[in-house]
Chain A
Amino acid sequence: MTKTGDHFPESSRGDLSRRAFLRRGVGGLVGLGALTSLPLLPAAVRAARSKDASSSFPDMDAFDYDEFVFSRFQYTLGETGDNPWDYGPDCDEKFLAYLRKATGIRVSEKSFDERVVRVTEKEKMFKSPFLFMTGNANFRLAPIEREAFAEFFRRGGFLYGDDCVVGTTDNRFFLAFVREVSAIFPGCEMKPVEADNAIYHCFYDFPDGHSPVYQGAGYPDMGLFIEDRMVSFLTCTDQHCAWRGSARSVRMVGKWIQEAAFKMGVNIVIYALTH
């Protein structure tokens, strides 16, 4: 296990992956289709708005307080990205199945949609002490979100971010995450996590002190610390995609990567539930 992303130099060099190529191709076709249907645009916008307005953000109190809720944080994209905030719910489910099997943690059975958290009002942040963010695009936290995150951390919340590397050339999500989270507490910036941090050893042992690398640009894992407590953990190694265990990942890295990413995920959750 290495700390850098040398396994996938093509990603860090900016070459298009096959998946990204296909995605962009499909995106282009869809774009062409959209241009041809410009007259229908107002109705589509209305429909989208209607969907947004009706998308109820569930009452998190539907959860048992003894259950662990793997909440997905819905953030606002700063620019178009390949993977939006809600990318790969199937990856979450696979990981949670592993978490249930490997530990005695009572993992909530609620659906992905029920686990979504968005900061439209500050108090909505404070339903679940664990939040997960992923994506591959640049983003900015709105002032209300920044303020809410500051209070979220002070109250004891934990935020895990993972850069979904695929298709990007410049680790936009990772860099945006570092920038935005570092700005929450002036003078308190995200910094590399030491190898002896409990997050690498609390259940499974990662002696190298780094998350297993599926793909990424070679940045170290980063943490935001309030006094000695790590309140946010960030990986650029695409743990979330590795949880899917796709044929591509097996072919490119080996079958071990899914298991290793699962184990890292378990460690992150246990860390959040014990620190």
Chain B
Amino acid sequence: MNWLLNISPDEVLVFKGLTWGSALLAIAGIVALVALLWLLQTGKPRRRLKGLTLFLRFAAGVLIVLALMEPTVRRKDVLPQQSFLAHAYDVSGSMSIEDQADKSRLAAVLTTAGPGAADRQELDDQYRHVDFVFDDALHAQSNARAVEGSENATDLLGAFRGVQLQTKGFPMAGVILLSDGNPTLNEDRKKILEAAREIQAPVYTVGCAPRDPGADFWIDQVSCPAEAARNVDSAVRVLVGVRGRQGHTARVELREGERVVETRTVRAEREMQALPVDFVIRPMTEGVHYYNVRVSSDAHESYPWNNEEDFFVNVVSQKRQILYIEGYPRYEYRFLRAAFEGDERFQVKSVVYVTQAKHTYRQGVERRDELVEGFPEDENELFGYDAVVIGDIAAARFTTRQLEMLHEFVRSRGGALLFLGGKDTFAASGFGDSPLAGVLPFRFAASYESIDRALPVVPTRLGIERSMFGPYNPQLDSTSPWAILPPLKGLYPLHDLKPGAQALCAIDMGEGDANPAVVAYQRYGRGTSLICGISATWPWKFRTPSDNVSYEAFWKEMILVLMQGGNRKLTVDAWPRKVTVGDEVKIRGSVANAQFQLDPTARVDLRMETPTSGTISLEPRASSEEGYTFEKVLTPSVPGVYKILVRTVETDEQGKPCESEAVFIVRRVAPELREVRLNESLLREIAAVTGGDYVHLSDYGQLKDLIEPRAGTLFRMKERPLWDKGLVLASILGLLLIEWLTRRLGGLA
């Protein structure tokens, strides 16, 4: 049949006219009519001739019915011009690095994949094209030939969101992302991947930096305490990145101003590695101390601008006051207390409930009646602390009033609340219905079960960035600082984090970014809260060599991270704390009254010490951000350290103005130029999660074979009617003519 009608395998025969039922009825009618005519036919026909005429009539009738059924051959046809293909060109600062045979990365991109390039033309012939450029913002490029570089940061997250908005509803065959893959804004990889997925089209990523960049020493990371005590040693760890310098040595110099604090020499043992260099600083005066660390070698440097880094340490004389309340004596209490003992930056007062009858054991108290009830008597006493740690303790241990005080401690006072997990807090605690429910970064279920086996706890990407277990660069180090830490039991996965909560650690269940969070924090009001769904971290101390200080570093850093920000009556901070010349810095602060309630009417004297112009006065404006009362936006043009000094115009109850300070650093070299490597892993991951592919720029030409027309949106049904043909009409007329002639010649009527 197919052969007869010339129907190929990719074609189908359909009937668009009469339905099969109607057709059968019509044929039945024809049969009946033919039979009637048989009976009515007059004359003396020969029987054979009579039969022939009736057959001819029947055949003509069937043919007419078939024609009325409108047989049509359908075929799917590819329509390439209806599919869209987007090119998104990264034009950020890092694309101006000239490491592509004396050409910048962007110039190499335009030569290979720019408008008019041969391989690009082949794609343009096949698909309708739309072009974008992006750095810290996405722009549709109407004139693709005018692609120019910028000095701005890279915002991959924003780029994907922009592409998604602008291509929504189009039949997209794909998006080609041409980038070196180094986001310097919105670096949350999980969010970037989610945004890429939301485009709902394959993203084909093209790596636009050398696969094998030139030899280089660079300062990769600096890890130091945010706060240090006066006249006390503090450790600073610097990770020096090395590439292509095996066997070479480099000098690493730590300076405070013009004074060289210490110089170390490191030797690269491998082609690619991170060399840890440890320094000790001992600041002797209170206030902000500014340091610079730089690496230098005698060999040629391909990227000399990433060889130094600035950092600062806030030296405090007042100890941070920590209150720790624990539900029963346990090792976690003992080891956690020990982690803070002897550290001049902290003073820990603790209460542990020894019996169910509220018998408590207090440590670190200064007065006989202090904390005798197991909790501060009133808000004044509670608000004297900077942080409160709640151990494995049931909500029933607290009165509603005490829980409300804790809520206000975070919201108004700007305190830090650490909530440690355990059977009592998670299993049947009742915290979900308490005033603390809103403070905590996750939603309490009625009860939780811990995971019934020991599993490793690992930092999330944010946790790695915050050096939760010390500095680490996964691209350079094969062994992470947490690899030595034993797996833990009693883990409570935090499945239901609130929007705005940030996960610092996760339970390593082998699911990568999908591993459940186990440590998370969020800002709440003026303060911060953190939940740690690990009932016991002490094996990290007791089951690792005694010279391993990851346990202490983990908890101290956690406390300091939480206590940054608004935890005093007058606060000020600068964000970001590290910027590049020309970037904006927002100075924000808050003034609270004696009851720690924000006072937007309070006047402040805001000044700034600049690197070159001395101290200048700033005019703040009222802030609309929650938790802040004043703000000021600056765009510094000179690199160096800027110190913000703020004091209240009105005096406090002791007749003195409140004072506070913050620091930010303006760097000469943008982060864009510090991160010179091709971030192939991110680009591959983006391609994988969206169903696209990754190629290096040199293989851009392969894309035309990899990109597939988008299914369901770019096919058109082509139809070939079989009935609307002259042959059909001629056949019908021919049959009827033969029938008529037969009758005439045969003498039939």
B-binding residues in A (CB < 8 A):
61, 64-66, 68, 102-106, 126-127, 129, 151, 154-157, 202-203, 227, 229, 269-270, 272-275
Q: Verify A273–B329 contact, CB threshold 8 A.
A: yes
Q: Verify A66–B423 contact, CB threshold 8 A.
A: yes
Q: How far is the CA of A269 from the CA of B333 in the complex (A)?
A: 13
- Does B356 count as interface, using CB distance less than 8 angstroms? yes
- Does B165 count as interface, using CB distance less than 8 angstroms? no
Q: How far is the CA of A274 from the CA of B332 in the complex (A)?
A: 9
Name the B residues within 8 Å of A127 (CB-CB). Answer: 543
Enumerate the 9 nearest inter-chain pairs by beta-carbon distance, A residue then B residue, closest first: A65-B536, A154-B546, A273-B329, A104-B328, A155-B546, A155-B542, A126-B543, A273-B334, A105-B329
Excluding A65-B536, A273-B329, 15 further A-B contacts by CB distance (< 8 Å) are: A61-B489, A65-B538, A66-B331, A66-B422, A66-B536, A106-B328, A126-B542, A155-B543, A155-B546, A156-B538, A270-B329, A270-B354, A270-B361, A274-B352, A274-B363
- Does B337 count as interface, using CB distance less than 8 angstroms? yes
Q: How far is the CA of A272 from the CA of B361 in the complex (A)?
A: 13
- Does B9 count as interface, using CB distance less than 8 angstroms? no
Name the B residues within 8 Å of A61 (CB-CB). Answer: 454, 489
Q: How far is the CA of A65 from the CA of B332 in the complex (A)?
A: 9
User: Measured between C-beta atoms, what is the minimum distance from A141 to chain B in Å?
Assistant: 18
Q: How far is the CA of A106 from the CA of B490 in the complex (A)?
A: 14
Q: A61-B489, A272-B334 are in contact. Are A66 and B392 (CB under 8 A)?
A: yes
Name the A residues within 8 Å of B492 (CB-CB). Answer: none
Q: Which of B335, B423, B489 contacts A156 (CB 8 A)?
A: B335
- Does B696 count as interface, using CB distance less than 8 angstroms? no
Q: Which of A102, A103, A156 contacts B328 (CB 8 A)?
A: A103
Contact indicator per residue, chain B 331-365, by CB within 8 Å of chain A (1) or not (0): 11111011000100000000011111001010100
Name the A residues within 8 Å of B423 (CB-CB). Answer: 66
> What are 18 A-B pairs with beta-carbon distances under 8 A?
A61-B454, A64-B489, A65-B535, A66-B422, A66-B490, A103-B355, A104-B354, A105-B328, A126-B542, A151-B545, A155-B544, A156-B538, A156-B542, A157-B542, A270-B329, A273-B330, A273-B331, A274-B352
Q: How far is the CA of A269 from the CA of B334 in the complex (A)?
A: 11
Name the A residues within 8 Å of B489 (CB-CB). Answer: 61, 64-65
Name the A residues within 8 Å of B329 (CB-CB). Answer: 68, 103-105, 269-270, 273-274
User: Measured between C-beta atoms, what is the minimum distance from B347 to chain A in Å?
Assistant: 16
Q: Considering only CB atoms, which chain B residue lies closest to A158 in the complex?
A: B334
Q: Chain B: interface secondary structure?
A: loop
Name the A residues within 8 Å of B523 (CB-CB). Answer: none
User: Measured between C-beta atoms, what is the minimum distance from B233 to chain A in Å?
Assistant: 16
- Does B430 count as interface, using CB distance less than 8 angstroms? no
Q: Verify A65–B539 contact, CB threshold 8 A.
A: yes
Q: How far is the CA of A155 from the CA of B486 in the complex (A)?
A: 14
User: Measured between C-beta atoms, what is the minimum distance from B510 to chain A in Å?
Assistant: 20
Q: Verify B334–A66 contact, CB threshold 8 A.
A: no
Name the B residues within 8 Å of A68 (CB-CB). Answer: 329-331
- Does B374 count as interface, using CB distance less than 8 angstroms? no
Q: Considering only CB atoms, which chain A residue lies closest to B356 in the complex?
A: A104
Name the B residues within 8 Å of A129 (CB-CB). Answer: 331, 334, 538, 542
Q: Verify A104–B355 contact, CB threshold 8 A.
A: yes
Q: Verify B490–A65 contact, CB threshold 8 A.
A: yes
Q: How far is the CA of A61 from the CA of B354 in the complex (A)?
A: 25
* Most central of A66, A270, A272 by chain B CB within 10 Å: A66
Q: How far is the CA of A65 from the CA of B454 in the complex (A)?
A: 10
User: Measured between C-beta atoms, what is the minimum distance from B365 to chain A in Å?
Assistant: 13
Q: How far is the CA of A269 from the CA of B331 in the complex (A)?
A: 11
Q: How far is the CA of A243 from the CA of B333 in the complex (A)?
A: 27
Contact indicator per residue, chain B 540-551, by CB within 8 Å of chain A (1) or not (0): 011111100000
- Does B488 count as interface, using CB distance less than 8 angstroms? yes
User: Measured between C-beta atoms, what is the minimum distance from B227 to chain A in Å?
Assistant: 23
Name the B residues within 8 Å of A65 (CB-CB). Answer: 331-332, 488-490, 535-536, 538-539
Q: How far is the CA of A154 from the CA of B342 in the complex (A)?
A: 15
Q: How far is the CA of A192 from the CA of B675 in the complex (A)?
A: 60
Q: How far is the CA of A193 from the CA of B330 in the complex (A)?
A: 24
Contact indicator per residue, chain B 541-583, by CB within 8 Å of chain A (1) or not (0): 1111110000000000000000000000000000000000000
Q: How far is the CA of A273 from the CA of B334 in the complex (A)?
A: 5
Name the B residues within 8 Å of A227 (CB-CB). Answer: 342
Q: How far is the CA of A217 from the CA of B10 in the complex (A)?
A: 103
Name the B residues within 8 Å of A64 (CB-CB). Answer: 489-490
- Does B415 count as interface, using CB distance less than 8 angstroms? no
- Does B149 count as interface, using CB distance less than 8 angstroms? no
Name the B residues within 8 Å of A157 (CB-CB). Answer: 542
Q: Verify B327–A104 contact, CB threshold 8 A.
A: yes
Q: Verify B333–A273 contact, CB threshold 8 A.
A: yes
Q: Verify B333–A274 contact, CB threshold 8 A.
A: yes
Name the B residues within 8 Å of A106 (CB-CB). Answer: 328, 330
Q: Considering only CB atoms, which chain A residue lies closest to B330 in the complex?
A: A66
Q: How far is the CA of A127 from the CA of B489 in the complex (A)?
A: 13
User: Measured between C-beta atoms, what is the minimum distance from B501 to chain A in Å?
Assistant: 25
User: Measured between C-beta atoms, what is the minimum distance from A89 to chain B in Å?
Assistant: 23
Cβ < 8 Å to A, chain B residues 142-166? none
Q: How far is the CA of A94 from the CA of B20 in the complex (A)?
A: 93
Name the A residues within 8 Å of B536 (CB-CB). Answer: 65-66
Q: Verify A275–B334 contact, CB threshold 8 A.
A: yes
Name the A residues within 8 Å of B392 (CB-CB). Answer: 66
Q: Verify A155–B541 contact, CB threshold 8 A.
A: yes
Q: How far is the CA of A273 from the CA of B363 in the complex (A)?
A: 12
Q: How far is the CA of A270 from the CA of B392 in the complex (A)?
A: 16
* Most central of B329, B352, B392 by chain A CB within 10 Å: B329
Q: How far is the CA of A66 from the CA of B336 in the complex (A)?
A: 13
User: Measured between C-beta atoms, what is the minimum distance from A58 to chain B in Å?
Assistant: 15
Q: Considering only CB atoms, which chain A residue lies closest to B537 in the complex?
A: A65
Name the A residues within 8 Å of B338 (CB-CB). Answer: 156, 229
Name the B residues within 8 Å of A126 (CB-CB). Answer: 542-543
Q: Considering only CB atoms, which chain B residue lies closest to A154 in the complex?
A: B546
Q: How far is the CA of A64 from the CA of B338 in the complex (A)?
A: 21
Name the B residues within 8 Å of A273 (CB-CB). Answer: 329-331, 333-334
Name the A residues within 8 Å of B337 (CB-CB). Answer: 274
Cβ < 8 Å to A, chain B residues 497-546? 535-536, 538-539, 541-546
* Most central of A61, A126, A272, A273 by chain B CB within 10 Å: A273
Q: How far is the CA of A102 from the CA of B546 in the complex (A)?
A: 33
Name the A residues within 8 Å of B331 (CB-CB). Answer: 65-66, 68, 129, 273
User: Measured between C-beta atoms, what is the minimum distance from B425 to chain A in Å?
Assistant: 11
Name the A residues within 8 Å of B541 (CB-CB). Answer: 155-156
Cβ < 8 Å to A, chain B residues 409-424? 422-423
